A and B are shown apart, each in its own frame.
Chain A
């Protein structure tokens, strides 16, 4: 409101001024400043430097808001002797966790209620199944285990709270034959199973001895490996990873190739293209090289090369903008273009006259196509070789003779340059499709 009044150049009504005090309405706030000035006297024994941290020369308070509401050093005295200390007494106690009622002594405050020994509640016992003589004779008799030995085993189970490893360790081997951990476990859980069945319990634990023995055997083998074996395993795992990576790379390349081909196929919607496609698919015999006519190639060039956007924007623009590679051309491709341009001795950025602009763009588009075709060719070559190896592996003794039209392609292509691309385009489809 005050701002509005300022703008309107109205008189300030003195009584209506909005201040902090008028909102909060506390008188305490006003009383604060004098107290801070009072405490600015340096307390005795306080170092000057420390005091200067709290209050500087300008008598300003430190930028930190004081967090203690007390009066600093004045009231830090400990109040000693104000209260009577509570007494401790050396008193006897019994422990309900003990069966003998032995009496020990410990220190306790007489004020504390003499309640039950607090540690007795930690006295937990494992439930161990029991059996009577009659039950044993009726249900639990097994060859290889006498009643005495079973009793001994159950006693150990009680003593060691079912720690079977310790039970096996402390087994009385003088009276009874030596038993393994698994034997003892097996016997114990069988007894438990039978007893709980007799009592009609639904949940019955079973113990698979053979499985456990096998598991431990495996574990032992795992731990007993020598350093060389471990290294060998790691080496083999690394190799496996490499092989898988290579396989994936190859699959990816094949997929790219197929995409390229299908793209080229779908682009040409002339009737010639469709009946071209059918015989091509049927040609399983690679001896006859497939031919693609120039019309199709021209269309393929358009699709597979770089698509330069048409500048139809209104307004002024530099012609050199047209020569800029579109954003969808990858790093790899643009690098390839650069390299090729250098090989044929062209400038990377020629003067963009109308004619140069168009031709340069076309040239680069062709270059990209060439690159793609080259990589497709090498993939095909690789496929061909691997198929040949597969064939030879499956039919030992036989060798697959690859028709010269297929093998010599690479050399031909290398020698002939761009003019012979026509042959190349057709060939990838044969081994893959």
Chain B
């Protein structure tokens, strides 16, 4: 009970934070997740004799044409080209869509990451604020029935992100892979009717960057296919040798790998300008050189800013706009509280200059008599895993231990009570 002083009481709970980009898994009370697993699963027909340790036979899918499937999970296995391995995402619109693949990922997490039996650890899951009732119930059912967890809890990720930043009331702006959302949180509860989201996220930025790079005629062959390369001068044609493969990688795998390549480019080069994009101002900034996996090198100047502008220049969907809209939908009495703690989270918010631009956009939309305060964690870990960290904090607080929906409760009242237990 040494934690009494700080109000913590650790009970060995696990925290799962599923997202479009990755699933974060780890023990509560730790400051970073144990693992970040990409939210895609490689599926290939199991006709090779070699046995991968991470594969599991799929019992539910016996009706399909191939008798058995092999599943490839986690970066190391995904980034290797394999014959007819298709990549599938189990997420859709922020919610879990493909439960079979999702179970594979959870299996993998228990097996390889946690390395412990699921029945010993209470589990806290995060969910998107617009999660549907039947999906919540399904998840509850799976966790209790399949994994026999002793206790389960479901929290909206925006509320967790607010907790991670030390706030119970906040306007959470979560810019993730597939969308950017503005979610008002009041006393730890999400105001569901005032959630505003836009489909402008990291993936959209990558898509635009890819379009531009392809338009410029830059070879985007991923590193996984390159055997060797030579040093060439700026803008010279790259000289590299491709790996000799006896098969053609699937389209979905290629798309995923190119996305990763462009993501590298995006993280290295792209920056959001502080004010709406202006060619002349952008030209004044120093250029940044980027080397692609093929060895091709080029300096990027104003393009850096022009690309990032897609996240902000939409009249209705820019991050500042959705935040103001969301706050405007809330009761007038809580608006000052929301504006005074705007929490920025999500991996896409790490694009250089994102927070500066957002605070600028938002302050121009803030009513004059209100005080605007943006809270953006400085560290990349805190920003990318904001909701996981919040979950880690929440699940290890002494007063939270009464909130869990326990196995007993599940057996008595069934999955339908999740809506009442976890608002």
Contacts and interface: CB of A to CB of B under 8 A. Distances in A.
Contacts of A160: 189, 423
A400 interface: no
Interface string A95-109: 101101111111111
Interface stretch (A163-171, A241-249, A307-315, A422-430): A163-171
A112 interface: yes
Interface string B143-163: 000000011000000000000
A120 B400 CA distance: 10
Given A100-B408, A105-B12, A170-B423, A224 B367 contact: yes
Nearest to A230: B368
A103 B9 CA distance: 14
Interface string B341-375: 00000000000000000000000000111100000
A104 B1 contact: no
B193 interface: yes
Interface residues of B, number: 40
B401 A166 contact: no
B116 interface: no
Given A104-B150, A169-B192, A159 B420 contact: yes
B408 A104 contact: no
A65 interface: no
Contacts of A105: 11-12
B193 A101 contact: no
Given A104-B122, A166-B186, A122 B192 contact: no
A147 interface: no
Given A106-B9, A165-B334, A95 B1 contact: no
A223 interface: yes
Contact of A118 (B1, B122, B407): B1
A323 to B, nearest CB: 61
B4 A118 contact: yes
Interface in A70-125: 95, 97-98, 100-109, 112, 117-120, 122-123
B332 A104 contact: no
Contacts of B9: 106, 119
Q: Is the interface of B mostly helix, strand, loop or mixed?
A: mixed
B52 interface: no
Interface string A228-244: 00100000000000000
Contacts of B332: 216, 219-220, 223
Contact of A225 (B367, B398, B406): B367
B331 interface: yes
Contacts, number: 96
Contacts of B265: none
Contacts of B334: 165
A219 to B, nearest CB: 5
Interface residues of A, number: 38
A351 interface: no
B248 interface: no
B104 interface: no
Contacts of B151: 102, 104
B333 interface: yes
B166 interface: no
A102 B407 CA distance: 8
A102 B150 contact: yes
A179 to B, nearest CB: 12
Nearest to B9: A106
A7 interface: no
Nearest to A216: B332
Interface in A23-66: none
Contact of B191 (A123, A166, A223): A166
B7 interface: yes
A103 B369 CA distance: 51
Contacts of A222: 367, 369
Contacts of A169: 191-194
29 contacts: A95-B401, A98-B402, A98-B406, A100-B406, A102-B150, A102-B151, A102-B407, A102-B409, A104-B11, A104-B122, A104-B404, A106-B9, A106-B10, A108-B1, A109-B1, A112-B1, A117-B401, A118-B4, A119-B399, A123-B399, A123-B402, A163-B186, A163-B189, A166-B187, A166-B423, A222-B369, A223-B335, A223-B370, A225-B368
Interface of B: 1-2, 4, 7, 9-12, 122, 150-151, 186-187, 189, 191-194, 330-335, 367-370, 398-399, 401-402, 404, 406-409, 412, 420, 423
Given A169-B193, A223-B369, A224-B367, 15 more contacts: A98-B402, A100-B408, A100-B412, A103-B150, A106-B12, A108-B1, A109-B2, A119-B398, A123-B402, A160-B189, A165-B191, A166-B187, A169-B192, A181-B331, A223-B367
In order of increasing CB-CB distance, the 9 nearest A-B pairs are A119-B398, A102-B406, A97-B402, A223-B367, A230-B368, A100-B408, A104-B11, A219-B332, A122-B399
